[in-house]
Amino acid sequence: EAGVTQFPSHSVIEKGQTVTLRCDPISGHDNLYWYRRVMGKEIKFLLHFVKESKQDESGMPNNRFLAERTGGTYSTLKVQPAELEDSGVYFCASSHLSTYNEQFFGPGTRLTVL
């Protein structure tokens, strides 16, 4: 069974540009989460999808971040326009609705905004 995959693994962009991160969850996982780790600090929750619906987006920093999950499969996280403070590692995780919060994480996308 394939794990959670994320693309790209690294992205370097200029301030003001747009970047789109993609996450493919484990097949059959209805829950999909985005987290972010900035500069060696703690990993912080961004948002949570149940299928295609946003269950909780309380961690989204501001309206420059837009997450979608079309058809309840893969998800994208777009940052537009990117700012310096958006640099960090963006993790995606997925889980079954029936499991005890056992979230399976992808390898992350390292975003650097110059």
Where along the sequence are the contacts to another protein (CB under 8 A)?
Answer: 3-4, 31, 33, 35, 40-45, 48, 50, 55-56, 59, 91, 93, 95-108
Three-state DSSP state, 70: helix
- Map residue 85 onto helix, strand or coil: helix
- Compare residues 40 and 71 and give the one whose CB is closer to another protein: 40
In which residue are the tokens 């995959």 written?
Answer: 5
Give the span between the Cα atoms of 112 and 104, in whole angstroms.
Answer: 24
Least distance CB 68 / another protein (angstroms): 18
In whole angstroms, how close is the CB of 48 to another protein at the nearest point? 6
**Which residue lies nearer to another protein by CB, 78 or 96?**
96
**Residues forming beta bridges with residue 24, ordered by sequence position:** 5
Write down the least CB distance from residue 90 to another protein, Å: 12
Q: Which amino acid is at 107?
A: P
